[in-house]
Amino acid sequence: MSAQAQKQAAAEAAIAKIQSGSVIGVGSGSTVDCFVDALAASDVEIEAAVPASEATAERLRHHGIEVRDANGAGELAVYVDGADEITRHLQMIKGGGGALTREKVIAAIARRFVCIVDESKWVTALGDFPLPVEVIPMARSYVGRELLKLGGRPELREHFTTDNGNVILDVRSLDCSEPIALERRLNNIAGVVTNGLFAVRPADELLVGTDTGVQRFTAA
């Protein structure tokens, strides 16, 4: 089964987690695109969705689904999003598409975070995927130097600006073995808006599309 078919299977399984009439959070990326399409094709009719990126907002509107701003949306029933890496502790690296900050905000205001991935994202330890760090543009050099001191190898994501008008440093070689501590440490560097570790607030449930079906995991 292709990675795309696995994403599709995980996305379709997530529909069962959504109640008609609810307001939900929706992340970003190719797996979430499958989810939005599957939601639109399903019998589930949500009241509205709070999207994590302009691209997701556009896709929701295309399907006639109401898009709401996070401000004023209150607590969300569920947040559905993909990941670049996820472990058995349901801790993740996210932000391959650059939407990490809005994703982290929407995850924070949701009662439940359901992560949907293909099998390639299911890892034993975080850190092979370069960690995205969103930085305000004038702090780029300073943050880069601080990341070097932590043993990271930061690289500016070329020709890319986030939906918030910031830049991304993709950082290789960071020791991610204590992801909660590292997430907090990185957030304390002046000029960092968010980093792509989702460990302080992991997912509550994981749906992995595999060749033998969708496997479900919940927080231990």
The annotation status of 177 as a binding-site residue, yes or no, is no
Region from 22-30, 104-112, 136-144, 204-212 binding ligand R5P, contact rule CB under 6 A:
22-30
Shortest reach from residue 23's CB to ligand R5P, in Å? 20
Contact status: 179 vs ligand R5P (CB under 6 A) = no
Contact status: 176 vs ligand R5P (CB under 6 A) = no
- Which CA distances in Å does 146 have to 39, 161, 198? 42, 21, 20
Q: Which residue is nearest to ligand R5P (CB)?
A: 29
Closest to ligand R5P by CB, 34 or 46: 34
Contact status: 28 vs ligand R5P (CB under 6 A) = yes
- Which CA distances in Å does 165 have to 29, 55, 64, 161? 19, 15, 27, 6
Contact 159, 166 (CB under 8 A): no
**φ, ψ for residue 156 (rounded to 5)?**
-65, 130
- Angle between helices 30-41 and 3-14 in degrees, nearest 10: 50
Shortest reach from residue 52's CB to ligand R5P, in Å? 8
Shortest reach from residue 185's CB to ligand R5P, in Å? 20
Residue 102 structure tokens: 């809005």
Q: How far is CA 164 from the centre of its chain?
A: 16
d(CA 167, CA 98): 9
Catalytically annotated residue among 12, 85, 103, 134: 103
Q: In what order do the strands lie in the sheet with 197-198?
A: 85-86, 92-93, 197-198
At 37, which helix (H) or strand (E)? Answer: helix 30-41
Q: How many residues does the chain have?
A: 220
The residue within the footprint of ligand R5P, chosen from 8, 31, 101, 195 (CB under 6 A), is 31
Contact status: 197 vs ligand R5P (CB under 6 A) = no
Contact status: 100 vs ligand R5P (CB under 6 A) = yes
Region from 24-32, 104-112, 136-144, 175-183 binding ligand R5P, contact rule CB under 6 A:
24-32
**Does the annotation mark 103 as catalytic?**
yes
Residue 69 structure tokens: 């701003």
Shortest reach from residue 164's CB to ligand R5P, in Å? 12
The annotation status of 7 as a binding-site residue, yes or no, is no
Q: Given the rule CB under 6 A, which residues bind ligand R5P?
A: 27-31, 81-84, 94-100, 103
